[in-house]
Amino acid sequence: MTATPSPGSPTPAVAAAAAIEASAARLLDTGRRPRIAVVLGSGWGPFAQALADPLTLPYAALPAFPSLGVGGHAGEVVLGRLGRHEVAVLAGRKHAYETGTADGMKGAIRTLARAGVRALVLTNAAGSLTHALPPGSTMLVADHINMSHSSPLFGETGDTRFVSMVDAYDPALRAGARAAVQRLGHPLAEGVYAWFMGPQFETPAEIRMFQLLGAQAVGMSTAPETILARHAGLRVLAVSLLTNMAAGLSSEKLSHAHTLASAAAASERAVAQLAAIVREMEP
């Protein structure tokens, strides 16, 4: 049964808008003006150490930001410089499998947009659906398949909820990312990411289905944030770190601990690629 707001209390929508305004004001009060934000998935945490003159705010200090409950996600915003850019790094995300809804990052992403961010870079750890992308590989996300059939925009009103997802992963940002990584002499594949709700891992039959649908990687994040970012008018770039072969494609025993260990083992090269990408971005 849904609780009825007491007389004079703000509606949930009004309260959410106020939290976003308060969070954006808190970010702006730091004097930093990031135009690029980066969300760090499992294995990508060391990227925050690449920022010069870092300033850290816990998510708890930002009313619109979520509380986190997954290992490997620190729950803090790090503001700093990378090359010529001011950057906001979000160390951790709320996953849809934690609550059963896809809108866990809604307040955070809308706060970023309200504070002047123009481009959002999403990272994740994912399972590979092809032996052409072995564990340790990185993949630029060209498109996604929403296997959960859920949306962070459920409950929105007005025509803006019908946001186009054509070129959701910005073609110009992807081209710049490919060029930046090529200059490092590193390989960077490109493919389709299938978003699976979780928290259980996929079955071998589901993996075979994803392969037939044309996906190269599968994971439990990123698509909801991309939808939210596009709805907020942000440009999006996403990079996956392939930590394992998906179910049925190897003899590996899948677990979250295995994902974290594999991500840590491959993070140095992945983080170097991400730093090069962000350093050369044109938001």
Distance between CA atoms of 16 and 45, rounded to whole angstroms?
A: 28
Residue 84: phi and psi, rounded to 5, are -90, 0
Taking the C-alpha atoms of residue 138 and residue 194, their distance in angstroms, rounded to an integer, is 15
Instruction: Fill in the amino acid letter for 257.
Output: A
Tokens representing 33 are 């003006």
The strand pair at 52-58 and 76-82 is best described as: antiparallel
Six-digit token string for 17: 């808008």
* Catalytic positions: 42, 73, 95, 97-98, 125, 220-221, 244, 256
Give the CA distances from residue 12 to residues 16, 18, 79, 100, in Å, rounded to whole numbers and listed in that order: 6, 10, 29, 19
Give the torsion sign (CA, 90, 66, 103, 258): positive
Distance of CA 229 to the CA centre of its chain: 10
For residue 157, give both structure tokens.
């009103």
